[in-house]
Structure 1
């Protein structure tokens, strides 16, 4: 590749392989070596930049960003890193220069808030800067939130609390704004008001009240909280690289911000950099209000890494604590279900339903009913499956589960087929639902109506043992014996356990009698 000597190609290839495996520390070190040998190479620089941020090597990230800036190909987020660096160093000229770049790029909606916090630091009035931004577009919510924070920082408490209440009302589910305001209030000596801001019986709010820390008013605080807030808003989207940059920059300004660490770990896990993500989570200590969330994040990472037993053990520990909440129980039940321990899962899902009471959703009832059904407790399962459909009559997943479960048992076939027809209308391209409806027609004796649906389901999901077995049975009933055995052979390729034995019998003898699957 251009600029890289032949001798360095091996290091470059190794670095790329390490990055692909999520070994960002190894990748960053490799790219650093290649960049040293080819200091002007833009391709190496961008890879070094991204992996350095993931690995926490800020010095390498700065060096790689400088190469990209000189070449005129720097991604817009390099200006965020530069701005955070300048604020941390109290370098006014560099902060202003970086802010100009932010204002001229796709992250321009951050500029009014950052400019206002700089003005606050310099003893100027920040509010005209927010007013002139017009509170439009992407920046509207951030401006409203930071107006409240700046009023608190300016010790205009009545106005600040009023503005805070308005901002929280516009986004009542946000924990970040309330936490940011509470830490700032604590830092300005208003601990009682801070606790009021975090009022509520929710375990999250209780943990935040118990773990209040002081926030020091200024540009470092405002910048770090704005970047963390944006990272939280991006959570769950395909923006891990940007989220890593945002949280790394926030932590440069506030190294003790466990909320930023939690978001950073999640973004790293999204890049499959699990080892580095675990290292970040390890820095969140038991006294932190975000400790339980860090443990929960670890459970998810273990599951993603293919270690479900370890994930379950950790989830069990969280669920059996004295202060375990519904989310802890839900996580444990999900882990049991994933491992096929449906009887145990049903007991924990029942605890979830009991705990949430009248607020139980169709998903709660579907999970409980599904676990009971799979563990052989059909009569106990049926009321919950019916409740799920009652609460969500337009949810194809609930309709399909109740309909198919009854078809399998030969119960209430007319009602079951009606449920499956409704599910199919809602989701006509879902192979599983198409199979369920076709199987419902088959079990009702209408093979002619069943066959085209089962064929379509098999085309949509050719590796499904169940769908292919259903199709084979329908072919056999229709007198198409060669095609039946072909479908059964396809099913046998993917079948396991009891189904494997049943298919072996069908391939040898045909559909000579009603089997467990029929």
Structure 2
């Protein structure tokens, strides 16, 4: 994480009117009210224009809400005091590129190359060199290509620079060595195709966009004039690439800064919009995230992805009705695929609407036809089972195991569902033994097998497994209840109540009522075979 210089700790805190505005801004930021926080920091900074403590928060909040004027004012304060965080130079680089001030852009890129993001510097320098008319701008990439971390970034940008210079055959060869089936390769295809199209190389652009991926299909029909090669395009895509890689680990101020500067350099970068919206929603700024997603046009290659992202953002905002409505609209839309119906079913399961989820999975399976895989069968069977429709569920659960006999999840579900109902105990135990052999460290599977042994009276096998599962997942309601039941049935009453109490800590609804009864009265003989 790139953070402010330790020198900020010695700065005097705000006082007077600026203190009041600062405190209100801090409170607003803590509540996720980014717009109010940004306004508060702007007032505090205007009242105390040399205060670095205010300035760093004003910079971050300004970037979060896209208030670049506030961010620039705050950054100027930090730079004058020589305490600007290392990542803030990205904004300076973007501003210099937009102004086409290449000496200043080169200086900013060189500053990046001297900091913790040093692996980015050579790529930024290469795009400046291209704008300066260098015969071989890719020569700037030599340092990056020697670094394991930056080698891939350098290779991707070398290929894009070749397109920018009109060296199309060499670019095509470079791309063929880089492209795979991962998200980074998909992004590179789109970026290279846009540059090829901008150079009136439509055939090469379309070749890159071949395939059935919805984003590629959409881009094929919306290339238009393509993109203009230059530092704005190159840096925007680099910042977007970095934000994507960083987003795999955490949503951070750096992710937001990269997304904002990418869009500052190229407002058409919808991939940056998607990533920024995701990061903002993880930071509790759901309204901002939705606004970004809404700005992705219907003709964008990422239009369908943006609609799916809305469901995720609304879910994070705990707007269950909104998320469900958005997911249903996607699932019911003309041309909707297996994925949309399946995602709608997943959301219905999360909201305990199992009958509706089963219907959604049925739609997904109908769309998949003979291609319905084990996951879809398991999901449909699982939804039916949780809806209390066991006879309907069983064939799908069996089909899931038939299609994927080495998948522990499918084996565990079918095995445990039968054991819990007291039917086909021998078969259920065998399935669970297979599941545990494949995944011996999974507490849920360990619990399932232990419970199967207990149900068949094999206490010497069952109890150790239940104890092992409880030790691995001490807060799991089902595991602790199973352990308590097993202890009670073997005469270990004190330990049984201890396990039930552990289960009751996180139990809700019917589980909580059932556990309360056990804690009060123990297991009656009539329920001992549960």
Instruction: Identify whether the pair has TM-score above 0.5, normalized to the shorter chain.
Output: yes
User: Which stretch of structure 1 is more off in the superposition, 148-157 or 494-503?
Assistant: 494-503
Partners in 2 of 1:44 and 1:16 — Cα distance? 10
1:152, CA displacement in angstroms?
1.6
Going from structure 1 to structure 2, the CA distance change for 1:318 and 1:3 (only over 3 Å counts) comes to same
Partner of 1:325: 337
Going from structure 1 to structure 2, the CA distance change for 1:356 and 1:140 (only over 3 Å counts) comes to farther
Are 2:268 and 1:256 equivalent residues in the alignment? yes
1:226, CA displacement in angstroms?
1.4
User: Which stretch of structure 1 is more off in the superposition, 265-274 or 106-115?
Assistant: 106-115
Are 2:295 and 1:283 equivalent residues in the alignment? yes
Partner of 1:216: 228
Partner of 2:3: none
User: Which stretch of structure 1 is more off in the superposition, 359-368 or 38-47?
Assistant: 359-368
Q: Secondary structure at the match of 1:228?
A: helix
Partner of 2:4: none
Deviations 1:150-205 (A, max 9, x none): 22222222222222222224858622111111111222222333222211223221
User: Which stretch of structure 1 is more off in the superposition, 384-393 or 54-63?
Assistant: 384-393
Partners in 2 of 1:287 and 1:357 — Cα distance? 29
Are 2:197 and 1:199 equivalent residues in the alignment? no
1:131, CA displacement in angstroms?
4.7
Going from structure 1 to structure 2, the CA distance change for 1:343 and 1:466 (only over 3 Å counts) comes to same
1:497, CA displacement in angstroms?
5.0
Match among 123, 126, 144 for residue 116 of structure 1: 126
Are 2:113 and 1:103 equivalent residues in the alignment? yes
User: Is the contact between residue 53 and residue 61 of structure 1 (CA under 8 Å) also seen in structure 2?
Assistant: yes
Are 2:325 and 1:313 equivalent residues in the alignment? yes
1:45, CA displacement in angstroms?
2.2
Partner of 2:148: 137
Partners in 1 of 2:222 and 2:407 — Cα distance? 40
Deviations 1:420-468 (A, max 9, x none): 4555566666554443233222211134544454455556555544344
Number of residues paired by the alignment?
518
Match among 39, 43, 51 for residue 29 of structure 1: 39
Partner of 1:146: 157
1:121, CA displacement in angstroms?
1.2
User: Which stretch of structure 1 is more off in the superposition, 450-459 or 409-418?
Assistant: 450-459
User: Is the contact between residue 311 and residue 327 of structure 2 (CA under 8 Å) also seen in structure 1?
Assistant: yes
Match among 324, 333, 348 for residue 336 of structure 1: 348
Partner of 1:40: 50
Instruction: Give TM-score scaled by structure 1 length.
Output: 0.90
Match among 194, 198, 202 for residue 187 of structure 1: 198
Deviations 1:21-53 (A, max 9, x none): 222211222222222333333332222221111
Q: Secondary structure at the match of 1:441?
A: helix
Partners in 2 of 1:140 and 1:486 — Cα distance? 56
User: Is the contact between residue 203 and residue 325 of structure 1 (CA under 8 Å) also seen in structure 2?
Assistant: no
1:240, CA displacement in angstroms?
2.8
Partners in 1 of 2:519 and 2:133 — Cα distance? 84
User: Is the contact between residue 477 and residue 504 of structure 2 (CA under 8 Å) also seen in structure 1?
Assistant: yes
Consecutive unaligned residues in structure 2, runs of 5 or more: 1-10
Partner of 2:6: none
Going from structure 1 to structure 2, the CA distance change for 1:508 and 1:169 (only over 3 Å counts) comes to closer
User: Is the contact between residue 77 and residue 242 of structure 1 (CA under 8 Å) also seen in structure 2?
Assistant: yes
Partner of 1:444: 456
Going from structure 1 to structure 2, the CA distance change for 1:362 and 1:73 (only over 3 Å counts) comes to farther
Deviations 1:406-425 (A, max 9, x none): 21022333443344455556
Going from structure 1 to structure 2, the CA distance change for 1:212 and 1:42 (only over 3 Å counts) comes to same
Q: Secondary structure at the match of 2:150?
A: helix
Going from structure 1 to structure 2, the CA distance change for 1:420 and 1:46 (only over 3 Å counts) comes to farther
Superposition map of 1:414-433 within 5 A: 414-421=426-433, 423=435, 431-433=443-445
Partner of 2:139: 128
Partners in 2 of 1:505 and 1:219 — Cα distance? 69
Partner of 2:187: 176
Partners in 1 of 2:400 and 2:445 — Cα distance? 17
Partners in 2 of 1:260 and 1:145 — Cα distance? 17
Partner of 1:162: 173
User: Which stretch of structure 1 is more off in the superposition, 458-467 or 221-230?
Assistant: 458-467
1:274, CA displacement in angstroms?
0.9
1:328, CA displacement in angstroms?
1.6
Partners in 1 of 2:399 and 2:119 — Cα distance? 46
Deviations 1:481-505 (A, max 9, x none): 4554565566566555554555566
Going from structure 1 to structure 2, the CA distance change for 1:164 and 1:491 (only over 3 Å counts) comes to closer
User: Is the contact between residue 329 and residue 348 of structure 1 (CA under 8 Å) also seen in structure 2?
Assistant: yes
1:252, CA displacement in angstroms?
1.1
User: Which stretch of structure 1 is more off in the superposition, 45-54 or 440-449?
Assistant: 440-449
Partner of 2:422: 410
User: Is the contact between residue 241 and residue 267 of structure 1 (CA under 8 Å) also seen in structure 2?
Assistant: no
Partner of 2:238: 226
User: Is the contact between residue 240 and residue 268 of structure 1 (CA under 8 Å) also seen in structure 2?
Assistant: no
Partners in 1 of 2:121 and 2:508 — Cα distance? 58
Q: Secondary structure at the match of 1:256?
A: coil
Consecutive unaligned residues in structure 1, runs of 5 or more: none
Are 2:90 and 1:80 equivalent residues in the alignment? yes
Partners in 1 of 2:361 and 2:149 — Cα distance? 40
User: Which stretch of structure 1 is more off in the superposition, 489-498 or 431-440?
Assistant: 489-498
User: Which stretch of structure 1 is more off in the superposition, 202-211 or 410-419?
Assistant: 410-419
